[in-house]
């Protein structure tokens, strides 16, 4: 669970940064279009991670458990390198260069956000919570290969996968 939290914070930080980079570096007529591409990041990541495990699905169970599950993770090293190289080669946008030149860069941006824009912060947080709340609050039950929910509680035999 801790690793899932770390993953969520990482995706959240990268997602916002991706939108910022895309929109700040786009022409005024293309900002919305380029900013929308970041929305595809997580779904494309889920799709490619499933595709990465597809070749291993034909392996024998012993091979898959011994070494096969590691192959997609080893291949992902390429993505990690790309993930470090691309941002390191980006230049600051003209707008941010102007802010730096004027000396208007905030020392503690989060403090300035809370002090200067509390209403927008609260409204944005509530809007975000409202749009994602249904996903976080939904209750998922694991199912066996036949689609029956796996029973829980005393007296249930989850190994058989019987319907409750």
Which has the closest alpha carbon to 51: 76, 80, 23, 26? 76
With b meaning 16 or more CB within 10 Å and e meaning fewer, what string describes 56-65?
eeeeeeeebe
Crossing angle of helices 118-137 and 109-116, in 10° steps, is 100
Q: From CA 164, how far away is CA 152, in angstroms rounded?
A: 9
Three-state DSSP at 90 gives coil
List per-residue pLDDT tens for the chain, 164 residues long.
788 788 778 777 778 888 888 888 888 899 999 988 888 877 888 888 888 888 777 888 888 888 888 888 888 898 889 888 988 888 888 888 888 999 988 899 899 999 999 999 998 888 876 655 544 444 444 444 445 555 555 554 545 444 44
How far apart, in Å, are the Cα atoms of 9 and each of 78, 83, 92, 111? 22, 16, 24, 20
Burial of 34 (0-12, 13-18, 19+ CB in 10 A): middle
Global pTM? 0.51
DSSP single-letter state for residue 103: T
Q: What pLDDT was estimated at residue 139? A: 45
State both tokens at 69.
């599950």
- CA angle, 103 as apex, 97 and 109 as ends, to 5°? 90
């Amino acid at each position: 669970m801790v690793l899932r939290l770390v993953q969520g914070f990482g995706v959240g930080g990268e997602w916002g940064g991706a939108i910022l980079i895309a929109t700040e570096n786009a022409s005024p007529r293309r900002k919305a279009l380029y900013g929308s591409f970041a929305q595809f990041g997580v779904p494309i990541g889920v799709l490619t991670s499933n595709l990465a495990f597809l070749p291993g699905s034909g392996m024998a169970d012993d091979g898959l458990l011994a070494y096969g599950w590691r192959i997609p993770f080893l291949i992902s090293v390429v993505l990690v390198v790309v993930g470090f190289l691309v941002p390191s080669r980006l230049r600051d946008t003209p707008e941010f260069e102007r802010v730096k030149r004027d000396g208007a860069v905030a020392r503690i941006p989060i403090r300035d956000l809370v002090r200067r824009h509390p209403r927008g912060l609260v409204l944005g947080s509530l809007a975000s919570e409202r749009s994602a709340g249904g996903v976080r609050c939904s209750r998922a039950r694991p199912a066996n290969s036949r689609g029956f929910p796996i029973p829980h509680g005393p007296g249930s035999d989850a190994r058989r996968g019987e319907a409750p």
